[in-house]
Amino acid sequence: MGVDKEEISKTIIELEKSFNERWSAGDSTGYLDAFADEVSYFDPILENILVGRDEVIAWINSIYSDPHIVCSEYLNPQVHVSDEGDFAVLAYNLHTFVLDENGKEKQLRAWNASHGYQLIDGQWRIVHSNWAFSQTVTEKIAS
């Protein structure tokens, strides 16, 4: 019996969406609970990589506040699954929306996200997380 990469891909995308929905509603614990002990983490306001679950959770707890996100768009999800079916990399674009002062939706952020998931003791855990703003420069550069 072979690895069902399509089913694993669906599972990873569903997990990610569930973590994001909790985050958007003011509950950061979906992501925090999913981090593996040896997780590595980047975000656009960090100068250096964070390594280790405790360090990443402390960082996120220090900056997190309920973002009041009312809508999210998950765009271009790509999942690459290992032949063994125990490791997957998810990459996607995320657009988040909040309500403006008139109660209309406006875009809060546009993200590029990538996460490495590993099957550990029967559960998918995030072993690497990278968040980047979709547009940080105004010209094409390679270095």
Task: Please write the tens of the pLDDT for every residue from 111-135.
Answer: 999 999 999 999 999 999 999 999 7
Q: What is the DSSP string of 31-52?
A: HHHHEEEEEEEE-TT-SS-EES
Residue 2's pLDDT band, with cuts at 50, 70 and 90, is: confident
Q: What is the mean pLDDT of residues 71-95?
A: 97
Residue 142's pLDDT band, with cuts at 50, 70 and 90, is: low
| Alpha-carbon span 100 to 121, nearest angstrom | 43
Rounded to a whole number of angstroms, the CA Rg of the chain reads 16
Tokens representing residue 18 in the block: 């569930």
Q: What is the mean pLDDT of residues 81-97?
A: 97
Give the predicted TM-score (pTM) of the model: 0.90
What is the domain partition of the chain in residue ranges?
Answer: 5-133
Tokens representing residue 59 in the block: 């960082």
Tokens representing residue 84 in the block: 């063994």
Q: Does residue 3 contact residue 84 with C-beta atoms inside 8 Å? A: yes
CATH number of 5-133: 3.10.450.50
In DSSP terms, which residues pair with 98 in a beta bridge? 106
